[in-house]
């Protein structure tokens, strides 16, 4: 029986994209007690990292290719909610992921000075987390 880990990178990306087209646009992966959950979007996606149900970090994913190293399982919203309950993930994060409307940092080009925009990108800041009022004043 072939597992996701057995797939080539190219086959995994095909799997992930096909599943996303079928409505399986959430993903999960676990490694050494850490759990990575997220949601694929059209142009950019997000990955949330948890350890024993406790939120650790949120990072942008710009393509499905970023998932090939993990070979994460693609799941639908119902499966995602059930998994989060099993993992005891706080509803705050479950709802944030479900209602996620990712914004690309590129949307801020010309608004945020280029050197600051570069720093935000390098820090892994998600566009939806940028507060222009605080950032520019």
Total domains, the chain: 2
Task: Locate the DSSP E strands across the chain.
Answer: 26-31, 34-39, 45-51, 54-61, 73-75
Backbone angles phi and psi of 94, in degrees to 5: -60, -50
Contact 30, 96 (CB under 8 A): no
Range of the domain at 16: 4-98
91 shares a domain with 26: yes
Is the same domain home to 58 and 10? yes
Q: Is the pLDDT of residue 5 over 80?
A: yes
Quote the pTM value.
Answer: 0.80
| Predicted confidence (pLDDT) at residue 2 exceeds the cutoff of 80 | no
Question: Which of 43-52, 111-120, 121-130 has the least mean pLDDT?
Answer: 121-130
34 with 93, same domain: the answer is: yes
Q: Give the tens place of pLDDT for each residue, 72-83.
A: 999 999 999 999
pLDDT recorded at residue 22: 93
Calculate the alpha carbon distances from 85 to 30, 57, 93 in Å. Answer: 15, 19, 11
Does 54 lie in the same domain as 15?
yes
Kindly tell me if the per-residue pLDDT of 1 is higher than 70.
Answer: no
């Amino acid at each position: 029986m072939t597992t996701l880990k057995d797939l080539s990178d190219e086959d995994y990306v095909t799997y992930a994209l096909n599943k996303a087209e079928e409505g399986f646009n959430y993903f999960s992966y676990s490694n050494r007690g850490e759990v990575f959950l997220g949601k694929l979007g059209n142009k950019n996606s997000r990955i949330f990292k948890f350890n024993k149900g406790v939120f650790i970090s949120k990072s942008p994913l710009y393509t499905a290719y970023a998932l090939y190293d993990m070979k994460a399982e693609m799941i639908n919203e119902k499966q995602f909610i059930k998994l989060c309950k099993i993992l005891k993930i706080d509803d705050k994060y479950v709802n944030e992921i479900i209602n996620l409307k990712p914004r690309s940092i590129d949307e801020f080009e010309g608004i945020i000075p280029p050197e600051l925009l570069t720093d935000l990108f390098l820090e892994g800041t998600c566009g939806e987390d940028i507060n222009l009022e605080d950032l520019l004043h």
